[in-house]
Structure 1
Amino acid sequence: MAQKAQIVGKVEYRSGDGPNVEIRPGPVEVTIAVNDATLSWTDEETHGSAAIPLTDFNRYVAEGLIKLEN
């Protein structure tokens, strides 16, 4: 089940073997799996998603860069 969150700082993910890509600040939905967290968002007519390792996700939350909504 997806949880609502806000990106409020610099949050990045790696797309394949390419460079890190920054997720724009704003609302996202987070789905937690065993090894990763998938963040999904919408920018006007564009939809995006990124899977990041749970260790990175937990660090972003602990640093206050991702704020989970209750």
Structure 2
Amino acid sequence: MAHTAQIVGKVEYREGDGPNIVIRPGPVKVETGLNDATLSWVDEEVRGSAAMPLADFKRYVTEGKIKLAA
């Protein structure tokens, strides 16, 4: 199911075994699956996307760092 959300705090994801990467504040599109959430965004001409475990996504929402659109 797709949602629109706003990144309003420090939200990070990890690519493989690499370091944490911060997602810039602003609007994102969120697609949730059974085990993960995929966030995608457009920053001027650059498109970005990140997948994170669903538990991490829910934690960011609970902490108020990601605000889901009503």
Question: How would you bin the TM-score normalised by the shorter chain?
Answer: over 0.9
Structure 1 residue 29 corresponds to structure 2 residue 18: no
Give the partner amino acid of 1:21: I
Give the partner amino acid of 2:25: P
Q: Separation in 2 of the partners of 1:11 and 1:60? A: 7
Q: Separation in 1 of the partners of 2:46 and 2:16? A: 20
Q: Kindly, what percent of the aligned residue pairs are identical? A: 71
1:14 deviates by 0.2
The aligned counterpart of 1:45 is 45
The aligned counterpart of 1:15 is 15
How well do the aligned residues superpose, as a CA RMSD in angstroms?
0.6
Aligned residues: 70
1:2 deviates by 1.7
Gaps of 5+ in 1: none
Q: TM-score if structure 2 supplies the norm length?
A: 0.97
Q: TM-score if structure 1 supplies the norm length?
A: 0.97
Gaps of 5+ in 2: none
Q: Structure 1 segments of 4 or more deviating over 2 A? A: none
